[in-house]
Amino acid sequence: MRAIEVNDVWYRYPNQKEYALKGINFEVEEGEKVAIIGANGAGKSTLLLHFNGILKPERGEIKIMGDSDVRWMRSKVGLVFQNPDDQLFCPTVFEDVAFGPLNMGLPEEEVVKRVENALKAVGLSEDGGVKWSERAPHHLSYGERQRVAIATVLSMGVDILVLDEPTSNLDPKMREDLMELLLTFPYTVVVATHDIEFAAEVCERIVVMDKGEIVEEGVAERILSDMELLRSVGLRAPTIVRIFEELGIDEKPVRFHDGVETLKRLKQIRINQRGGDPTT
């Protein structure tokens, strides 16, 4: 089943002449992890707001799991905003995570259970003695707030997780933690980002946007190794791809560990060619 279907979507912000989205067409299959990449102002965030019915297309249609009803869309798509301080507006973590389920009219016991499970899913389990749910969001670190922001939508029992620039403002450790977290998620994930390395590690398919249009889409290995394409939309290829380019190697793995493995393999081939002596 298709998780997201975007058919010829056009959108223009009020009092603007220029369209922010120009005839967008694409689909996301259930369980797929897709990155929408592009420079600032490419229209990535505008497109994400359509998945949740916050913005409505001027022309065209968006279907979430086969339906375009706004309530349905909101119950299926969990939108995590770029800045967790925009997402977390309640005085305590518990109230924030419970906000969605309560609005869905769920009974109290179910809400409490969902809050516990959602916090556990993002690694903020209360088993360790830390009462995460009682803490105020502004007392948490940025990385913890980011996790709580994800928990606020997981508690709604969504099927599709949509994240807008999730790695902005995260330090390398927090970024890595978030990456691991998303890789373990059994959900359909759509990430809008210009963090190419992050997109390469987490997503199997890449959609490239520029000036409100989709200019290319395909598997991560093909798109992210196309340096010319990325340069033309104001982005840079992952560091590992650029290293391979500099070394004049035809193969261009896009993920760090794949790159390391390739280098090890090439080294072994060279050793074998020289008679098995690694010092020569």
Partner 1 sequence: MSIESENMKRSMSEGNANNLIHRLDPRAKLLSLMGLVVAVVLSDPPSVIPQFNPSTFFPYLFVILLLLSLATISKISLITLLKRSMVVIPFSIVVALFLPFFGNGDVVVDLVFGSLALSSHGINTFVGVVVKSYVCVMCIILLTMTTPFPSIIKALGWLRVPETYLQVLSFLYRYMFILMEEVTNMKRARDSRNPNKARRIWYIRTAGLIAGTLFIRAYERGERVYSAMVSRGYEGRMPSLGRMRMGMKDWIFMCMFITVSAYILV
Structure tokens at 65: 């799991």
From 47-55, 216-224, 241-249, 268-276, span contacting partner 1 (CB under 8 A): 47-55
Residue 253: φ, ψ to 5°: -70, 145
Q: Which among 35-43, 137-145, 167-175, 198-206 is the span making contact with partner 1, rule CB under 8 A?
A: 137-145
Strand partners, 29: 2
Q: How far apart are the first and last CA of the chain?
A: 55
Q: Does 74 bind partner 1 (CB under 8 A)?
A: yes
Angle ∠(54,57,59) on CA atoms, nearest 5: 170
136 part of the interface to partner 1, by CB under 8 A: yes
Nearer to partner 1, 81 or 244 (CB): 81
Separation CA 120–CA 213 (nearest Å): 38
In the complex, least distance from residue 270 CB atom to partner 1, rounded to whole angstroms = 52
C-alpha separations of 186 from 158, 181, 269 in Å:
11, 10, 38
- Amino acid, res. 231: R
156 sits near partner 1 (criterion: CB under 8 A): yes
- Per rule CB under 8 A, is residue 116 in the interface with partner 1? no
Window 75-94: residues binding partner 1 (CB under 8 A): 75, 79, 81, 83, 85-92, 94
Q: Nearest 5°: CA angle at 50, between 123 and 73?
A: 65
For position 126 contacting partner 1 by CB under 8 A, the verdict is no
Rule CB under 8 A: say whether 100 interacts with partner 1: yes
Measured between alpha carbons, how far is 101 from 71 in angstroms, rounded to an integer? 13
Widest pairwise Cα distance in the chain: 71
Q: Does 95 bind partner 1 (CB under 8 A)?
A: yes
Binding segment (CB under 8 A) for partner 1, from list 3-11, 27-35, 72-80, 188-196: 72-80
Among 39, 112, 121, 215, binds partner 1 (CB under 8 A): 112
- Which CB atom, from 36 or from 240, has the smaller least distance to partner 1? 36
Cβ 52 vs Cβ 73: under 8 Å? yes
204 CB contacts (<8 Å, ≥6 apart)?
32, 33, 34, 219, 220
- Inter-residue contact 52 to 79 (CB < 8 Å): yes
Binder to partner 1 among 99, 132, 187, 244 (CB under 8 A)?
99
Contact between 13 and partner 1 per CB under 8 A: no
- Contact between 153 and partner 1 by CB under 8 A: the answer reads yes
Contacting residues toward partner 1, per CB under 8 A: 49, 52-54, 74-75, 79, 81, 83, 85-92, 94-95, 98-100, 102-104, 108, 111-112, 136-139, 152-153, 156
